[in-house]
Amino acid sequence: MRSTKGFLPITREEMEKRGWDRPDFVYVTGDAYVDHPSFGLAIISRVLERAGYRVCLLPQPDWHDKSAFMRFGEPKIGFLVTAGVVDSMVNHYTAAKKHRNTDAYSPGGKAGMRPDRATVVYCNRIREAYGAKPIGIGGVEASLRRFAHYDYWDDRVRNSILVDSGADVLMYGMGEKTILKVAEWMKDNKPFSDMDVPGTCVMRKEAPEDAIVIDSAEEVMKDKRAYARAFLHQYNEQDPVRGKRIAQKHGARYMIQNIPAMPLTSEELDKVYALPYQRTWHPVYDDMGGIPALSEVEFSITSERGCFGACNFCALTFHQGRIVTSRSKESILSEAKLLTKKPNFKGYIHDVGGPTANFRFPACKKQLKCGTCKQRQCLFPSPCKNVDADHSEYVDILRSLRSLPNVKKVFVRSGIRFDYMMLDKKNTFLNELVKHHISGQLKVAPEHASPNALKYMGKPNVEVFDEFLKRFKEANKQHKMDQYIVPYFMSSHPGCTLSDAIQLAVYMKKNNLHPDQVQDFYPTPGTLSTAMFYTGLDPRDMKNVYVAKTPEDKEMQRALMQYDRPQNRQAVMKALKMAGRTDLIGWGPGCLIAPYEKKEAAKTGAEGRYSKSSSKKGSERTFKQGRNEKSTRGRSENASPKSVRTERKGRR
């Protein structure tokens, strides 16, 4: 086995080799241990290490027995718990609530290495082992479930995860600043009820005078209008500059969300990414097949955090926030040079980006001083006049990266906001992207074609996407390139009716789009779209919203996105008849399906027309059909999820 030198201890033997009798913190995680800065566990543990704390990691412990949590003995200060990079329920189940077959964050991709609701289960075992020892919880699962929240898998509203887990403090958002203040608080044995650290949640007997008191957990569990009201307050106050504390009563106590933490400055981010990561998995996993999730990020560079795109179905607003911050050019180049020295580096940097690759700064100069605008999105329904669409620094970084020795190609595979790119009338970034940074295909997410559906998604009208396609095609022609767009679309999003789904199908037919995979809307905690899904209301105006919830409704919307597949014929036929769109059933070039199946057509002498109408015309080489293409974004029912919209390759 490779040497474990340089990794933080995951066994008692490794701990004792360092001369420790016990750690300050035991860090419990639902993921395997990968010491790479794309994994939150690695960052937080290294930040604590730099501050002088002794940290031992307990990855994927056997949750059936408390003894597994006693591996290192009782920690001097306390326990830290995370479910992992992905919410444990999203990690385990598809949008259809079927068990996933694999887990990219476990050895060899093996599923079932963590429990459902991992944060709660781990905390319960720790309490069994060590009673009142302080516990802090964090990560995506804790962050997005900090208030009473709708749980898609239980189909009900659950308490704050802070209540259900019995932890002492919850850390939400990006936690480098927060964890150090919490660690100091724990070390000094201060009462958690007094904690006012930004980026934390604690329990109190009374609500602070400066807090906004929202509908209680009990009220939002029985009243959907109360749930919508409470969610809007949560959504509006997720800003570190202007946000206020929020209190939500759970039983006899209040769950207090302190104000969000300010995002790290560029200098602070640079220091975080310069920590001594081993950039691979712990050697204990070598004989188990390694950790599959590393393959996507091993030779990728995170250049920024946050997203002011604020799509309604995306949890980034609730987790990383809308204020974008980025690393310096020097820091990014320094990491790239490290990558080129790795023995398995083949000359390709797979990505330079983040939640949205072409965001480098806050949307406008006012955000760091005044905060983000309440109930106003920077790019929707149209870009704000104050948005500064400047790609010059990003272009300069990409040019410098590809000029490094031993670098053959630098790809951009993170999400790209094409509407933001369109604000650059000179097409500087688009030309650079097309000429140098696409690996044959570019993934973008228009999500839909219906103005009504896009309104509820918070995405630009499809005409913006059409203009992007036009410019993309022109740039490819100019640079003599032969590259494709892989567009992502979503079915059954709240607000999307059957008529909207048919409009999307007609758009796909017109543009010769035949997606290989379809993604149903997935109601994950912490998003505006999930609040609409549960309540049937838009929290912003309390108007009713149509929601496709029945299997039949979902099936028809999904089938329409793949209308040309024989197995979808009956569902498409039913949808068109229900919507009164029988004009789309016929032999004409604009029709979605023929009146008869092929066998019936042969009997009626219509086989020739059937074959002609159902044949796919050649693409103008703008779109990639995606047939037999391996999914890297969890698009199929059994594909592994990459994050609850917080990972590098987000749908932007």
Q: Check if the beta carbon of residue 217 is closer than 8 Å to that of residue 250.
A: yes
Residues 419 and 379: beta-carbon distance below 8 Å: yes
- What single-letter DSSP state applies at residue 239? -
Residue range 32-44: average pLDDT?
97
* DSSP string covering 274-322: TS----EE-GGGGGGT--TTHHHHTTEEE-EE--S---TT-THHHHT-S
pLDDT tens digit sequence for 162-217: 999 999 999 999 999 999 999 999 999 999 999 999 999 999 999 999 999 999 99
What 8-state DSSP symbol labels residue 124?
A: H
Whether pLDDT at 614 is above 90:
no
Q: What amino acid is encoded at 586 in this protein?
A: G
Is 50 exceeded by the pLDDT of residue 638?
no
Tell me what pLDDT residue 598 has: 63
| pLDDT one-digit tens code per residue, 255-291 | 999 999 999 999 999 999 999 999 999 999 999 999 9
Q: Classify 349 as helix, strand or coil.
A: strand
pLDDT at 449: 97
In a domain, 254, yes or no: no
Tell me the C-alpha distance between 388 and 362, whole Å: 9
From the centroid of its chain, how far is CA 114?
20
Mean pLDDT of 516-543: 95
What whole-number percentage of the chain has pLDDT above 90? 86
Would you say residue 36 lies in a domain? yes
Strand partners, 247: 213, 256
Give the integer Cα–Cα distance in Å for 428 and 425. 8
Position 83 scores a pLDDT of 98
Q: For position 622, what pLDDT does the model report?
A: 61
631 band by pLDDT with thresholds 50, 70 and 90: very low
Residue 72: inside a domain, yes or no?
A: yes
Do 506 and 592 meet the contact criterion of CB atoms below 8 Å apart?
yes
pLDDT at res. 623: 64
The whole-angstrom separation of Cα 55 and Cα 48 is: 7
What integer pLDDT is reported at residue 624 of this predicted model? 58
Within a domain: residue 300? no
Per DSSP, 270 falls in state H
Q: Flag the least confident range among 484-488, 518-522, 641-645.
A: 641-645
pLDDT computed for residue 415 by the predictor: 85
Query: Which domain, by its residues, includes 188?
Result: 12-197
Q: What percent of the chain has pLDDT over 70?
A: 92
Q: Which domain CATH number covers 107?
A: 3.40.50.280
**Number of domains into which the chain is organized:** 1
Residue 123, domain member (yes or no): yes
Lowest mean pLDDT among 51-65, 374-388, 557-571, 600-614: 600-614
- pLDDT average, residue stretch 577-585: 96
Is residue 2 domain-resident? no
What is the per-residue pLDDT across 556-568, written as a single tens digit (0 to 9) for each? 999 999 999 999 9
Q: Is residue 330 part of a domain?
A: no
Residue 144 pLDDT greater than 50, yes or no? yes
Full-model pTM = 0.92
Q: How confident is the model at residue 628 (pLDDT cuts 50, 70, 90)?
A: very low
pLDDT band at 1 (very low <50, low <70, confident <90, very high): confident
The 10s digit of each residue's pLDDT in 12-29 is: 999 999 999 999 999 999
As a whole number, the mean pLDDT across the chain is 91
Residue 446, pLDDT above cutoff 90? yes
User: Is the pLDDT assigned to residue 422 strictly greater than 60?
Assistant: yes
Residue 604 has pLDDT above 70, yes or no: no
Q: What is the pLDDT of residue 424?
A: 87
Give the CA distances from residue 485 to residues 519, 622, 623, 650, in Å, rounded to whole numbers and listed in that order.
Answer: 17, 6, 5, 16
Name which of 290, 362, 298, 276 is nearest 326 in CA terms. Answer: 362
**Structure confidence at residue 426 (pLDDT):** 85
Q: Residue 104 domain-assigned?
A: yes
- Banded pLDDT at 390 (limits 50, 70, 90): very high
C-alpha distances (whole Å) from 515 to each of 508, 509, 565 are 9, 11, 11
The pLDDT of residue 602 is: 57
User: Which residues, in sequence order, are CB contacts of 283 under 8 Å at separation 6+?
Assistant: 1, 2, 3, 4, 7
